[in-house]
Structure 1
Amino acid sequence: MDTVVTGTLTPKQLDEINNLINLCKSEDNMETPVFLESDMNEFPDFPCFFLIYDGSQLAGFISVFIPDPFECEVYAYTRPDYRGKGCFKTLFRMVKEQLDIFDIPTVMFVNCPESRIGVMALISIGASFHNSDYILKYDSSQLPVPGHFLNLEPFTEDGVTGYRTFLDGRYIGECFIDDSLGSSTIYSFEIHPALRGMGYGRETLLLVLEELLASGRDNIILHLSGSNKAAYRLYTTNGFQILHQVDYWEYLC
């Protein structure tokens, strides 16, 4: 088999990768993420795309996202009829060579929990489960019932809208809302550290949900790290359901 290591994909390579991704999605019946934007990497000269061919057939590829100098995320796909033939391990050996050159110590593999083959491959190289990230969607059939003991006030900061809550004029918490992608995404949800564990987070969330629904915005989502157990409990016990889950597996170089 032949391999290609590059920092820039040709249109032909990009088409081949997208076809491979679609084939894997169809075969595995799951939505899996992928990274194809090399200009977002911490090191612009890192060759972040690794491809393996059997003749003219793309058998597998790995892409590497480097958000900071100490850690990278690895996304891997192997054509279903080439799984178990060493494609992934061959490509990952090449990835490790580049990680050693750039002195990046930690790899976080991105894997869907439904992918048993992916889990087996990660275990075989010594990776260990680290945490899950979630996209949660609010079930708008469950109308929020806040206690209305906090005051909710809209605000705009750097062109972004959000909401803040107050109790007798004292700041309690806030969040931002992104309506740019056909949904209302709640992010940067914060309660003042000294006021956590007192029910203010739940009340703030319910007030924001009530306001969004009242304005006709019923497609409400948020992104959450599973390592934040308190936030996970808050959202899932107040109408949010898991729309998509991604698992991160850690490998130390």
Structure 2
Amino acid sequence: MLNPSQLGDISALQELCERADAITLKLNWSMLKSRPADAKLDFFHYSGDMLTGFLALYPLGGGLEVCGMVHPDYRRQGIFTNLWKDAIRSANVSAYKTILLNTPASSSSGIGFIESQGGVFCHSEYQMKWHDDGQTVAEAYPSVQLRSAELADMEDIIAIDQEGFEMSREESAEIYSSLLQETGTRPLIIKRDGVTVGKVSLEDTGSDTWIYGFAVKASVRGQGIGRSTLMLIVSEAIARGRDIWLEVAVQNPNALRLYESCGFKVMRQQDYYEYMASQ
């Protein structure tokens, strides 16, 4: 488990790197704050008392995602290469179906490192933010409601993940179990007339609320449930004075159109590259 001092050092380095490079790093803070006590998933490089390099591993279902950063004044010194080697040696990479390295699409240093390690481009995600254009937020259907997810919802969650995200039963169960334990994350069940029709998770980070894992059962799509869910979330965020964000695969035009029609606009892009462990 990361201690408060380590979390503070990571936050300070992230802020510095983002400001210097005009990027936004995806560090999955809810996962950083709820690491298992015995997990070897985070790797640090200090120059004196200052954190100058950081790399994190994120087990997600059957895959492993990787993200990290190096202080702008300490680059080209092999810091991240050494962190990466330590991480690969520590992680049982054969246990994961895929290893994805994440970088902002506009980060030339991130892309350069990944390509130097033989990373193969896999996919991109847009990060979208809801904008108040002076229009009244559309009302949600009264029949659509959100409630906190519970352990008893596991089978419904698994079925929705298998259908919507093509996850295995094991992947879905592992991710959902982790979400129930993460600080700052709210897994929610979408109900219509008392029947479970979908699920979504909200994560609060700073002044932002992020939407993750949003899916509606195929049998009830096209009936306004997705739009109503988004409007409920947006209305709550407005009442709390928070900005609302979400991620969507670039290759998912139907979801992209829905989000745009609800007032979300593309702000930036995250790219994912697959690392071939056999290399």
- TM-score, normalization by structure 1: 0.67
Partner amino acid, structure 2, of 1:233: R
Q: CA deviation at 1:92?
A: 0.7
Aligned to 2:118: 126
Residues 53, 158 of structure 1: alpha-carbon distance in 2 compared, 3 angstrom cutoff? closer
> Pairwise mapping of residues 148-167 of structure 1 onto structure 2 (< 5 A)?
152-155=142-145, 157-158=147-148
> Pairwise mapping of residues 84-233 of structure 1 onto structure 2 (< 5 A)?
84-100=76-92, 103-140=95-132, 141-143=134-136, 152-155=142-145, 157-158=147-148, 190-194=215-219, 196=221, 199-201=222-224, 205=227, 209=231, 217=239, 221-226=244-249, 227-233=251-257
Partner amino acid, structure 2, of 1:109: L
Conserved? CA contact 2:148–2:189, under 8 Å: no
Structure possessing the higher radius of gyration over alpha carbons: 1
Residues 101, 131 of structure 1: alpha-carbon distance in 2 compared, 3 angstrom cutoff? closer
RMSD: 4.2
Partner amino acid, structure 2, of 1:116: S
Quote the Cα distance in structure 2 between the aligned partners of 1:246 and 1:153. 35
Q: Percent identity?
A: 23
Q: CA deviation at 1:97?
A: 0.7
Unmatched tracts of structure 2, length 5 or more: 150-186
Residues 25, 154 of structure 1: alpha-carbon distance in 2 compared, 3 angstrom cutoff? same
Deviations 1:140-195 (A, max 9, x none): 3345679x9xx6424354589877668xxxx8966769698877876665554245
Quote the Cα distance in structure 2 between the aligned partners of 1:246 and 1:9. 25
Structure (1/2) with the larger helix percentage = 2
Deviations 1:190-213 (A, max 9, x none): 5542454xx534x86169639966
Unmatched tracts of structure 1, length 5 or more: 1-7
Structure (1/2) with the larger strand percentage = 1
Match of 1:236 among 260, 264, 279: 260
Q: Which moved more, 1:237-246 or 1:72-81?
A: 237-246
- TM-score, normalization by structure 2: 0.62
Aligned to 1:18: 11
Residues 102, 164 of structure 1: alpha-carbon distance in 2 compared, 3 angstrom cutoff? closer
Q: Which moved more, 1:209-218 or 1:17-26?
A: 209-218
Q: Secondary structure at the match of 2:143?
A: strand
Q: Secondary structure at the match of 1:40?
A: coil
Structure of greater relative contact order (alpha carbons < 8 Å, 6+ residues apart): 2
Q: Secondary structure at the match of 2:254?
A: helix
